[in-house]
Structure 1
Amino acid sequence: MGEFLTTLFSTDGVLLGTLVPFIFVLTVVVFVHEMGHYLVGRWCGIGVKAFSIGFGPEIIGFNDRRGTRWKLSAIPLGGYVKFVGDMNATSTPDGEELEKLTESERRVAFHTQPVWKRALTVFAGPMFNFLLTIAVFAVMFYAYGRTVSEPMVASIQPGSAAEEAGFMPGDRFVSVDGTSVTTFSDVRRLVSGRAGDPLVFVMHRGDKEVSLVATPRVVEQEDALGNKVNVGVIGVVNDEKLGQPRVERYGAVGSVVEAVRETGTIIGQTGQFLKRFVIGREDRCQLGGPVKIAKISGQAAKLGFEWLVQLVALLSVGIGFLNLLPIPPLDGGHLVFYGIEAIWRKPVSERAMEAVYRAGFFLVLMFMGFVFWNDIFGC
């Protein structure tokens, strides 16, 4: 019994070592996302019936002076803001529900608002996720700076793609597939997600520039948390002599600029990964669900609070990106309908909307089942 309690409640145990960090990370990301919907919705004059962290039965809650029910629910795998006139937590319109509303309620109901207000309210959730990521990165860059190295080739691994392409020690990277680089980390980032893709490298060699074509190969490596990940490499090595590693410091404005750039880079990498995944060019085990997030949360917590905060930033930008995919009932699906409404000057019919929502909901359930399978059985 004593060993069981130690396993459960120690900082290396399931409760404090994994579940608490996982709930912290997920709650922060979900709260910020839903707060984006709530704040912009209120700013647009839309009434809010409920703000929930989690799904399912309510654990604890209260009503504010506007009549909004703020609550914590039993299943901590998401959350929602339910506006006046919504049929459910996904903001699906309900004609019968709207007919039952009083005149004062109709004035603040979500689906009676101009399309731009609805679109702005929906977009605010992912946008707040991106802003959270930018804020975290800005603080980290301002407090700690960033370690960078010159984009130099110190040596080349035998038999590697770089050797076959004709890379030479002393070469300096100028660009990778059309994107300029200033640090060795830039090169690594542009190469790591492009395994199997021929890439054009412009290198400064002596007093001239040369173009080389190399195809990154998949290599299994350990990430900063000790997890096995598959990344693309060409087989060049940087060292202290040529790389001259240093810590770059940023002021307040510079930190924000760098944070915006870093967030944009992550969004681009996420989109690239999903595109390659759909066409079967990425390892399915790279995708994980709640179990994998919980594991990574526990690993990050053991390394320190700043690692946990960085995980919050990475998960936040991922959640924001995924929610913008044009699939109902995700935010991006809503935005597609609002775009059609803005062009046609009339809402999409409820019958068509319901059919698309059902199909989209089925796709979302399939995706959730897929990542759960990966978490528990597949990988």
Structure 2
Amino acid sequence: MPEIFNSVLFFVVAIGVLITFHEYGHYWVARRMGVIVLRFSVGFGPVIWRYQPKKSHTEFVVSAIPLGGYVRMLDESQEEVPEQYLPEAFNRQPLYKRSAIVAAGPLANFLLAGILYGLTFMIGTEGLRPVIGTLMENGLAAKSGLMVGDEIRTIDGKSNRSWDEHHFYLLDKIISEEIVVYGVENDNGVRTVGVNFGELEEVDLQSSSIDTVIGMYPATPQIRPIVDRTVPGYPAEAAGLQPGDEIVSINNSPVNSWNDLVGLISQTNERVLNIRFSRGGIDQEVLLEPRIVERNGTRVKQIGIAVNAEQQLRDANATVKLRYGFIESLARGFETMWSTTALTLKMLAGMVTLQQSADSIGGPIAIAEHAGKAAEAGINNYLTFLALLSVSLGILNLLPIPVLDGGHLMFHAYEAISGSPPTERMLIVANQIGLFLLICLMGFAFYNDIARIF
């Protein structure tokens, strides 16, 4: 229940922030263009809060359904406009002003994404040192000449200080099937290695990580099976395991690492586990029965303990903290926003041409689940999630589908070319088609959500 509550809470926060920023883009430019805004709404449906400043035409409202928002401007196509306010009506504005107002919403989302990514760089990110620990046999990295022990210093000339520093950049290059030049260093000196992503036969970024696609993994020390905390209500807590206990064996099979522990618990056929652990240098034993839970459609056995892998990696000097100044953080933030946008557009194009699976399209359930997990993982993960979602919202709204901002811009392009706006009949038919397409897209997203659950 707490997980569901957190997911819903952080979903509402995420959607609220993104919608507010998007609609504020429309509102801010409309006011600068001299257009009267009658209502600024976050959400749809019944109004649960409203505020209208004195001597202002604008009513600010929050509505009950937090799945969208809108800015309603003075417009003769919507209502009768008093003569003295006609110069401030949206439909009376020149084409460039109307287009700027419409485009401002999606552009605000891209701006927000750049700022959010910039904040993550200012706060600082912790990552693994960029040292290759494992190479997949016959993987692209091994074939290209990369070696175990190589420290990746540069990627296409860009300074590289952690394993995931150029995550989005590499994703973009993988999809584009381009060559990336790695500058690496080991005990034998410095060299450059070109990796041609065009040599990859199949790329499944939906279910595979970048490391798996390239065929290399970072060097990491073994995580010792030391209990950091027990999960309330699970067998480990009931059996009396405590933070600081180090698991020594399970059913007489030695446990040397956290991976050993997870593997033994998941693979055992025994109903009851005999767990030997060390507490204060003294070995003790407990008997417990693992709980079977479902994770991503798979039934797994758990006893309810967690380790502090991050702290163990820090203690082993296997991580590096990256933090940048204000200017460089913003520069890197907007560079990451651009890479994310390019990557999203390429994946979208791949879906249209059936080269990429559309199974990754998610609806509110998937967004809520990811929001909760990102928030639990820390502020930086949540900010990164918000930035990625903001880019997606910006791109979605620029699609040339009537009822979306991109559809309105399409009508404006028609007006610029033909010299006159679309007829009322054309607008009605186009909006009906657009609404149908939007409902189909939402239905498909909901279907993917339900399919993931069941």
**TM-score category of the 2 structures, normalised to the smaller one:** 0.7 to 0.9
The amino acid that maps onto 1:84 is L
Shifted more, 368-377 versus 277-286: the winner is 277-286
Quote the residue 1:292 is aligned against: 366
Mapped to 1, the partners of 2:385 and 2:421 lie a distance apart of: 39
Give 1:82 deviation, angstroms. Answer: 0.9
- What residue in structure 2 maps to residue 80 of structure 1? 70
Partner residue of 2:353?
A: 279
8 Å CA contact 1:173, 1:201 repeated in 2: no
| Structure 2 residue identity aligned to 1:161 | L
Return the alpha-carbon distance in structure 2 between the equivalents of residues 208 and 68 of structure 1. Answer: 62
Aligned to 1:22: 11
User: 3-state DSSP class of the match of 1:58?
Assistant: strand
Report how far residue 156 of structure 1 moved: 2.1
* Closer, same or farther: CA 219–107 of 1 in aligned 2, 3 Å: closer
Structure 1 residue runs without a partner (length 5+): 1-6, 87-93, 221-227
1:142-291 equivalences under 5 Å are: 142-144=122-124, 147=127, 149=129, 155-164=134-143, 167-169=146-148, 181-183=158-160, 184-185=163-164, 188-192=167-171, 199-202=178-181, 211=194, 213=196, 214-215=199-200, 217-218=202-203, 229-232=207-210, 233-239=213-219, 246-291=320-365
Alpha-carbon separation, structure 1, partners of 2:170 and 2:332: 21
TM superposition shift of 1:46: 0.7
2-side partners of 1:302 and 1:66: how far apart? 41
Change (3 A) 1:138 1:175: closer
Q: Give how far 1:31 is off.
A: 0.6
Which range is displaced more, 156-165 or 52-61? 156-165
The code of the aligned residue for 1:156 comes to: L
Partner of 2:449: 375
CA distance in 2, matches of 1:161, 1:58: 56
Identity %: 31
Any idea what SS the aligned residue of 1:185 has? coil
Q: Which amino acid aligns with 1:18?
A: S
Matches of 2:447 and 2:386 in 1, distance apart? 24
Q: Using a 3 Å threshold, how does the CA distance of structure 1 residues 147 and 204 change in structure 2: closer, same or farther?
A: closer
Contact 1:285 1:378 in 2 (8 A): no
2:115 is the counterpart of 1:125: no
**How many positions carry a matched residue from both structures?**
347
TM-fit CA distance, 1:289: 0.7
- Following superposition, the deviation at residue 218 of structure 1 comes to 4.7
Gaps of 5+ in 2: 222-316
Q: CA offsets, 1:292-325, max 9 Å, x none?
A: 1111122223234443333222211221121112
Q: CA deviation at 1:259?
A: 0.9
User: TM-score, normalized by length of structure 1?
Assistant: 0.79
Quote how far apart the aligned CAs of 1:186 are: 6.1
Report the counterpart of residue 36 of structure 1 in structure 2. 25
Q: CA deviation at 1:181?
A: 4.8
**More helix per residue:** 1
Whether the 8 Å CA contact 2:109–2:394 is kept in 1: the answer is yes
1:358 counterpart (416, 432, 445): 432
* Aligned counterparts of 2:428 and 2:353: Cα–Cα separation in 1: 29
Cα distance change of structure 1 residues 101 and 219 upon mapping to structure 2, 3 Å threshold: closer
- 1-side partners of 2:193 and 2:49: how far apart? 65
Secondary structure at the aligned position of 2:389 is classed as helix
Partner of 2:294: none
Quote the residue 1:110 is aligned against: 90
- Cα shift readout 1:214-241 (whole Å, capped 9, x = no counterpart): 3065568xxxxxxx84345120234379
Paired amino acid for 2:200: T
- Contact 2:114–2:334 (CA under 8 A) maintained in structure 1: yes
Distance (Å, rounded) in 2 between the aligned partners of 1:212 and 1:131: 33
Q: Any idea what the Cα deviations from partners look like across 1:60-97, whole Å, max 9, x if unmatched?
A: 323333232222212110111111117xxxxxxx3xx4
Please tell me the residue identity of whatever aligns with 2:135: I
Return the alpha-carbon distance in structure 2 between the equivalents of residues 174 and 346 of structure 1: 57
Checking the alignment, whether the CA contact within 8 Å between 2:347 and 2:356 is kept in structure 1 is: yes
| Structure 2 CA distance for aligned equivalents of residues 128 and 59 of structure 1 | 25
Q: Report the Cα offset of residue 116 of structure 1.
A: 1.2
Q: For 2:171 and 2:337, locate their aligned partners in 1 and report how far apart those are by CA, in whole Å.
A: 17
Q: Output the aligned Cα RMSD.
A: 3.3
Contact 2:171–2:343, Cα closer than 8 Å, also in 1: no
Quick check: 1:198–1:216 contact (8 Å CA) kept in 2? no
Tell me the residue number matched to 2:411: 337
